[in-house]
Each structure stands twice: as C-alpha cells, then as structure tokens.
Amino acid sequence: MPQIAQIAATYASQIFWLLIVFGLIYFVIGQGMMPKIEATVDAREKKIADDLAAAQAARAQADATDAAYRARIEEARAAATKTALEAKAQGASTMAARLKKADAELAVQAAEADASLKAATAQALAEIEGVATDAARDIVAKVSGLSVDPAAAQSAVKAALANS
C-alpha cells in the first residue's frame, strides 16, 4: 500500500518537531519549574510539621494546666468537706448541749407540774370529801330526820371513798 509508505516521508518532519517540543517542555518543566514546585511542597510540609509540633506543645501545656486545675479543685473540695464536717460536729455538740439544757428545764417543769397536780388532786379530794360529807348529812337528815355528827359523817365518807 502506497499510503503507508508515504507516512514516513510526510510525517517525519512533524514527528521530529514533536520530539523536540516535548523534549524542550520536559527540560523546561523538569529543570525550571520542578525545583520550585518541590521547594513549595517541602516548605508546606515543614510548615505542617511545625504547626503539628506547636499543637502538641499547646496540648501538653493545656493538659498540665488542666491537671493543675483539677488538683486545685480537689484541694478545695477536700477543704470544703473538712469544713462541713467540722461545722457538723460543732453543730451536733451545740445541739447536744441545748438538748441537755432543755431536758433539764423540762424535768424541772415536769416536777413542778407533778407537784402542782398532786396538790390540786389533794385539794380536790378534800373538797369532794367535804361536799360528800355535807351531802351525806343532808341526805340522812332528810331521809330519816336524824342529825348526824359531822365527824361520823366524815369518817363514813372516807371509808366509802377508800373502797371505791
């Protein structure tokens, strides 16, 4: 085929110039642009590494600050607990003293009330006895028409009250 035979003659100059242009592009990019790109990539990698190192240092400092903060909080919590326990103990002792004082006052009041109650009971019994004696004398006088001696009526009322 004659068309295939013409290819080498027709396109040889184009292939030659194509190789020369690609070669020039290769050397221009490889020798001129590639070092600049590599320098930019290296600078970027160095910046990232430096930023990571700074972040690690900041994290370590933050961890140390956090640990110190937590230690101060624990100290404050322990001091507050100690103060609360001391206040509780002091309050308990104060309350015990107040309760003891109140118990003593109540015991005195109870004794006074008991004595007053016994006196009132004795007085009431005496009055009841007197009223019962007068009533017995009046009943005997009305029922039988006899006059009863007040001492005899009183002894009879005492005996009746003692039996009931």
Contact (CB, 8 A) for 136 and 153: yes
Determine, yes or no, domain membership for 139.
Answer: no
Share of the chain above pLDDT 90, in %: 55
Share of the chain above pLDDT 70, in %: 97
CA–CA gap between residue 64 and residue 57 (Å, rounded): 11
CA–CA gap between residue 9 and residue 2 (Å, rounded): 11
Place of tokens 């040889």: 12
pLDDT: which is higher, 65 or 147: 65
- How far is C-alpha 47 from the chain's CA centre? 49
Give start and end residues of each alpha helix (H) in the chain. Answer: 2-28, 34-144, 150-163
CA atoms within 13 A on the CB side of 145: 0
Domain count, the chain: 1
Determine, yes or no, domain membership for 150.
Answer: no
CA–CA gap between residue 64 and residue 72 (Å, rounded): 12
For residue 115, give its domain range: 2-119
Contact (CB, 8 A) for 148 and 140: yes
Q: What is the pLDDT of residues 10-29, one digit of tens each?
A: 777 888 899 999 999 989 88
Q: What is the pLDDT of residues 63-96, one digit of tens each?
A: 999 999 999 999 999 999 999 999 999 999 999 9
Determine, yes or no, domain membership for 153.
Answer: no
Determine, yes or no, domain membership for 76.
Answer: yes
Q: What is the pLDDT of residue 1?
A: 55
- How far is C-alpha 116 from the chain's CA centre? 51
Determine, yes or no, domain membership for 62.
Answer: yes
In the structure, what pLDDT confidence band is assigned to residue 164 with cuts at 50, 70 and 90?
low
CA–CA gap between residue 136 and residue 105 (Å, rounded): 45
